[in-house]
């Protein structure tokens, strides 16, 4: 007995054509991202990023990232039913997605401290991320006051920075922040 998709009930009432369409715009986007991903991850770009310093690489990364969000907003990006049209909304989206990336990318010095016990020998490219630059900011700022404990720096880098990035991003996207009281139970 052979397995055939056409015998499954799921396939009997559903066709690709009924639910999804692929336009030239999506094909161009996918092609561009594939080629651009190959370019930005080429050996010479990574070596160049390693040579330009932490802040230089972070700026390079964010120019590309913000530029991409800006282009998508001009192409009609809609987020949760809200169309991203104004530059401040694009900045808000940038801040909000930065908060998401900091939550799930695991690319800061904190990760190396937890897994290896040190940050020695780590490439500068490793520090040029959203959470890497946030880690450097907080470790420098807190270091002024003598706070060098990595666990404390991690608290400032992750929950505190992420919270404020998401809050500011949400405000800029919607134009308002409305905090409702919890209902009394």
Residue 79 pairs in a beta bridge with 82
CA atoms of 177 and 180, how far apart (whole Å): 10
Give the confidence band of 162 by pLDDT, cuts at 50, 70, 90: very high
pTM for the whole structure: 0.70
| pLDDT single digits (tens) 78-134 | 766 777 788 888 888 899 899 988 888 877 788 888 888 888 878 888 788 888 899
Helical H runs in 105-156?
Answer: 109-116, 130-144, 150-155
| pLDDT single digits (tens) 45-91 | 888 988 998 899 999 989 998 888 888 888 777 766 777 788 888 88
- Cα 139 from chain centre: 22
């Amino acid at each position: 007995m052979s397995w055939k998709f056409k015998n499954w009930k799921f396939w009997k009432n559903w066709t690709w054509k009924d639910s999804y369409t692929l336009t030239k715009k999506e094909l161009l986007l996918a092609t561009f991202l594939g080629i651009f991903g190959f370019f930005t991850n080429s050996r010479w770009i990574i070596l160049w990023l390693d040579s330009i310093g932490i802040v230089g690489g972070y700026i390079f990364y964010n120019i590309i990232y913000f530029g991409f969000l800006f282009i998508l907003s001009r192409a009609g990006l809609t987020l949760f039913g809200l169309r991203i049209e104004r530059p401040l909304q694009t900045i808000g989206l940038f801040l909000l997605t930065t908060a998401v990336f900091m939550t799930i990318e695991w690319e800061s010095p904190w990760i190396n401290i937890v897994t290896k016990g040190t940050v020695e020998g780590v490439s500068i490219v490793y520090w040029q991320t959203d959470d890497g630059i946030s880690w450097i900011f907080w470790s420098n700022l807190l270091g002024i006051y003598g706070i060098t404990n990595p666990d404390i720096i991690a608290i400032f880098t992750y929950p505190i920075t992420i919270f404020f990035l998401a809050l500011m991003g949400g405000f800029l996207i919607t134009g308002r922040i409305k905090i409702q009281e919890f209902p009394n139970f």
